[in-house]
Amino acid sequence: MELLNATGLGWDPQTKTMDADDDWWKIHLEMRPDHAKFRNGPPPNLEQQDVMFRKAHVTGESAAIAGQETGGGKEAPILLEDDRGTSSKITGKHKFGAGEGNEKESPFFTVYNNALNTLVSRNEGSSSTKADKVPTMKEFLATVRECGVSEGTGIMFTASKLAMNRDSREVFAAFATNEGRLDWLQRTHAEMNK
């Protein structure tokens, strides 16, 4: 008897644990003693699971067998959000649903979009925008040469190591002048070679 296949269980929102009687727990823990942790408290990542699965539930409405067309012939609309935060709806190529007139967003895309939107909103303050162009490694090294650094030197070797790190390329690009970039490279080179 696994937790996923068990029936008759509930959820206690106060203690954030499964709600089952003592007899059920006694039988279950004999077979799976490692599940005792679920009796006395929630899993440590309950908040993340809530974000991912908040709107996910099984109704059988979107059930399908691989390779079989689902009823109704409706195509699942997929909601896309652009950089301005506006949503647009496109029609997906995968069909889902059970019956005529059943035009809903695919459950997979709902859960995926919710989790993705939550992660993006949590990181908006630290994310760069498209306007913050971080140079590629090739662009970075070309600019290093423009600063007067010759290939085959110790500073160029340091620069090639820095080129592999996106944050280093971003800091380098943030300097307004080649003199400022060269100064940063020389100081970083000296610091790395202490």
In this prediction, residue 94 has a pLDDT band, given cuts at 50, 70 and 90, of very low
Domain identity same for 61 and 24: no
In a domain, 79, yes or no: yes
Domain of 154, in residue numbers: 137-192
Q: Render pLDDT for 140-149 as a digit per residue (tens, 0 to 9).
A: 999 999 999 9
Domains in the chain: how many in total? 3
Domain identity same for 105 and 51: yes
Domain identity same for 98 and 51: yes
Domain identity same for 39 and 77: no
pLDDT at 169 over 50: yes
- The answer to whether 51 touches 19, Cβ cutoff 8 Å, is no
In a domain, 183, yes or no: yes
- The answer to whether 6 touches 29, Cβ cutoff 8 Å, is no
Strand ranges for 30-158 from DSSP E:
75-81, 87-95
pTM: 0.35
In a domain, 132, yes or no: no
Q: How many CA atoms lie within 13 A of 79 on its CB side?
A: 18
- The answer to whether 81 touches 117, Cβ cutoff 8 Å, is yes
Domain identity same for 148 and 105: no
As given in the structure block, the two tokens for residue 129 are 């925008």
Residue with tokens 């991912």: 52
Which one of 13-27, 99-113, 175-189 scores highest in mean pLDDT? 175-189
* Predicted pLDDT at 124: 55
- The answer to whether 109 touches 89, Cβ cutoff 8 Å, is no
pLDDT at 12 over 60: yes
Domain identity same for 120 and 100: yes
